[in-house]
Amino acid sequence: MSGWVEASGSAFLTDPPSDWAARLAARQAGQRREVTPDQIASWEALASLLQGALRQRPGAASWTVLLEFDLLRLEKRIDAVLLTGHAILAVEFKHRATTVTPADLAQVEDDALDLFDFHSGSRAHPVVPILLAEQAPSRPQSLPLIWHGVVPPLACDASRLAGLLAEIEAALPRPVTPLDGAGWARAPYRPVPGIIEAAQRLFDRHGVEEIATARADIANLRATTTAIRRAIAGARQAGERRVVFVTGVPGAGKTLCGLNLVFGQAAEEGAAFLTGNAPLVAVLRGALERDAVQRQGRGRRQPRREARSLLQNVHRFLEHHQRHPEEVPAEAVVVFDEAQRAWDAAQAQRDTQRRRSVLTESEPAHLLEIMGRRAGWSVIVALIGQGQEINTGEAGLAEWGRVIAASRGLWRATAAPAVLDAAAEPAQRLAPGEADWLQLDPDLALTVPVRSVHHDRAADWVDAVLNDRPQQAAGIAAAGELPFYLTRDLGVLRRALRDWARGLRRAGLVCSAKAKRLRAEGLGAQLHGADAEVVNWFLCRWPDIRGSDALEVCATEYACQGLELDLVGLAWGGDFIRSSNGWRARKLSGTRWQWVGQPEAQRHIRNTYRVLLTRARHATLIFVPPGDASDPTRPPQEAEAVATYLAACGARLLADPAESPSAPARLPLLALAGS
């Protein structure tokens, strides 16, 4: 990836600013975007200021200048990137700006963090974010220690730019390997989008292949997308009905694959994304609507209608078509997210206070009947998460296999060999062995997590921790700095989350819905449902107190499954503790804890912590409360056993940012990025 305009320092100083502005205008016009006089004036002013500053710097002729460096993330571009040979300077220009705002500083810092995280040429050199507010009064600021990574953002007005560049050059350490400007411009930039950000970009018809991964060795996501399209094309050509099962570890990109099929650049015509995860539907719908209004300047009505047709609650979809048996679904392809959590017949028929069930069979059985109403072909893409069952009444893969086999050839299936794994839970096995209705395709297994930006073994570590394999967990941790930290102090947790949430990174607290005694720690407010409160928690930002980064309300597993945060503060509850025999699950009844005896219920609580431990893109900070000897529901020895075990597994002790102001708590994240 490169800038819209790239030039050596000497070439940049040769041509007048109007020429550079004209080249940028031509590039924007070539993308069929409006070019306004204000934009042209801004480009010309930036080029003029950069030229004036570079002429005062000895050696600037050998620098590399890139204008409008495209970050491929929601139309984000860095106004200018200066490659000095020692460092990468990311410049955000505010034309005619008279003030420096916190939002502008956060933006330029976030751009610099994107470069460091996702641009392979930026890992070995300092990245310095600079906010150039043209007419803002100068303000005193001390130059930070410039280390390997991203320094806090610097700000200056037009008159101070040359002086600031001189100060930065003087503070830069001599690099082991000089920065090659041309090589840097050619180095790959591969961002890992969050699920909300990915949905927004895909809604604008950008392909998943552009934005899928930050690690060049992960071809898995693209291969799986190709395999799904291959299966759909085969069903269309043969005029058959087929279920395509996509399996994957937490954070491997299953939902991203599904969203891409529904509204990516090459979306399947007549497709819909179905999920029983009501908070996911609500948050993604809200994000698409807000993005259409705020960034695209559209009204709310049309984006809202589009989002509702593409993102549907699977329970409402099934109930609608059960009430209207004569109606043929408009969708030829439906994507069923977390399909292993589809309801069995007992749960599907159960009445609640809010609804009276009209279903008579399991949800897989109903979905096959509904999609079978279409003449010719139809496809169900079933996204299967591993180890994320957290509710009773979830049918599992076995029910899908049963109803496909019972269709007597009306439906066939394609899946990865993992669905037949004899070591899996029986309920999560598609068939007891090979079946004549099943075709195997290994490309349909997503085995590499992409949620964690800097480490691909975070999910392996979580699995070892939760399945009583501390030595294996410690070995994974020793092989590379894992993004898991441990503290016994809630104040330290909050300070670290705020200190590490640089730029536009989002932090939030999570906990188990059954962790009832966390209220004694001041964490009684929990987020469960799919109402406006959940949407605001994921989309609003501080100082809006409804946002996650207010760090006041904990999202439970029901609110955050399928979604993610950059930084997670996990409050460990008394519902999952250590004993001499390993993990024990329990629930609070009145004033006493009771052991959970049913294996399925035990597995759900274990999986709750799997979900909570795999929500973070950058780091998970675990708070284990100290307990209280005077409170029989919070004995200190129980909490100590959990903390001791997590430490033995390799979770690193979290330092208090307030006690080490000269060594910012941001540094562990930078160490992760550079590992």
pLDDT (tens digit per residue) in 71-95: 865 568 999 999 998 999 999 999 9
- Please give the backbone phi and psi of residue 653, each rounded to the nearest 5 degrees, phi first: -65, 130
Average pLDDT over residues 346-359: 81
Between CA 592 and CA 195, with CA 486 as vertex, the angle to 5 degrees is 95
For residue 321, pLDDT over 80 is answered with yes
pLDDT tier at 214, thresholds 50, 70, 90: very low
Cα 241 versus chain centre, distance: 33
Give the E-state strand segments of 386-461 in sequence order: 411-415, 438-440, 445-446
When mean pLDDT is compared across 212-226, 336-350, 498-512, the lowest value belongs to 212-226
**323 vs 565: CA distance, rounded Å:** 38
* Residue 642 pLDDT greater than 50, yes or no: yes
**Beta carbons of 265 and 198 less than 8 angstroms apart:** no
What's this model's pTM, rounded to 2 decimal places?
Answer: 0.84
How far CA 314 is from CA of 184, 305, 318, 334, 390, in Å, comes to: 46, 17, 6, 10, 17
Tell me, what's the pLDDT at 390?
54
Task: Write down all domains in the chain, each with its CATH number in brackets.
Answer: 3-186 (3.40.1350), 218-276+311-446 (3.40.50), 458-674 (no CATH)
| Strand partners for 380 | 243, 334
Both tokens of residue 662? 């000269």
Query: 194 near 617, Cβ under 8 Å?
Result: yes
Determine contact, residues 372/225, Cβ cutoff 8 Å. no
Which secondary-structure segment (H or E) carries 118?
helix 102-118
Q: pLDDT tens across 96-132, in order?
A: 999 999 999 999 999 999 999 888 899 889 999 999 9
* pLDDT recorded at residue 391: 60
> If DSSP codes are grouped into helix, strand and coil, which group holds residue 94?
strand
* Helix, strand or coil, per DSSP, at residue 581: coil
Residues 71, 117 contacting (CB under 8 angstroms): no
**Helices and strands in the chain: count of H runs, count of E runs:** 24, 24
Q: pLDDT tens digits, residue range 473-487?
A: 999 999 887 899 999
CA 587 to chain centre: 31
Structure tokens at 571: 């409050």
Average pLDDT over residues 209-224: 55
DSSP 8-state class, residue 176: S
Q: Dihedral sign, CA of 495, 644, 596, 418?
A: positive
Q: Inform me whether the pLDDT recorded for 274 exceeds 80.
A: yes
Alpha-carbon distance 585 to 582, whole Å? 10
> Is residue 454 classed as helix, strand or coil in its secondary structure?
coil
Taking a C-beta distance cutoff of 8 angstroms, is the pair 71, 150 a contact? Answer: no
Q: Do residues 230 and 439 make contact, with C-beta atoms less than 8 angstroms apart?
A: no
> CA–CA distance from 101 to each of 161, 308, 666 (Å)?
18, 36, 22
Helix (H) or strand (E) holding 564: none
The model's pLDDT over 373-411, given as tens digits with 9 standing for 90+, comes to 999 999 999 998 876 555 666 778 889 999 999 998 999
Look at residue 392 in the predicted model and tell me its pLDDT. Answer: 60
Residue 205 banded pLDDT, cuts 50, 70, 90: very low
Q: Is 664's pLDDT higher than 50?
A: no
Question: Averaged over 506-523, what is the pLDDT?
Answer: 96
> Looking at the predicted structure, is the pLDDT value of residue 662 above 60?
no
332-352 mean pLDDT: 88
Across 58-62, 197-201, 671-675, least confident range: 671-675
Residue 282 has a pLDDT of 87
Give the tens place of pLDDT for each residue, 557-597. Answer: 999 988 899 999 999 999 999 999 999 999 999 999 999 99
Parallel, antiparallel or unpaired: strands 438-440 and 311-313: unpaired
Helix (H, G, I), strand (E, B) or coil at 440: strand
The DSSP 8-state label assigned to residue 441 in this structure reads -
Mean pLDDT across 240-260: 85
| DSSP percent split of the chain into helix, strand, coil, nearest 5 | 40, 20, 40
Burial (CB count within 10 angstroms: exposed 0-12, middle 13-18, buried 19+), residue 290:
middle
The yes-or-no verdict on residue 62 having pLDDT over 50 is yes
Over its C-alpha atoms, the chain yields an Rg (Å, rounded) of: 27
3-state secondary structure of 576: strand
Give bridge partners of residue 509 from the DSSP assignment. Answer: 554, 569
Position 155 pLDDT exceeds 70: yes
Token pair 């020429």: residue: 19
* Alpha carbons 655 and 61: distance in angstroms, whole number: 44
Mean pLDDT of 412-429: 79
Residue 672: pLDDT band with limits 50, 70, 90: very low
Distance CA 161, CA 144 (A): 16
d(CA 603, CA 584): 10
> Is the pLDDT at 312 greater than 80, yes or no?
yes
- Cβ burial of 603 (10 Å; 0-12, 13-18, 19+) is middle
Residue from 22, 84, 25 nearest 53 by CA: 84
Which pLDDT belongs to residue 675? 29
Which residue type occupies 216?
A
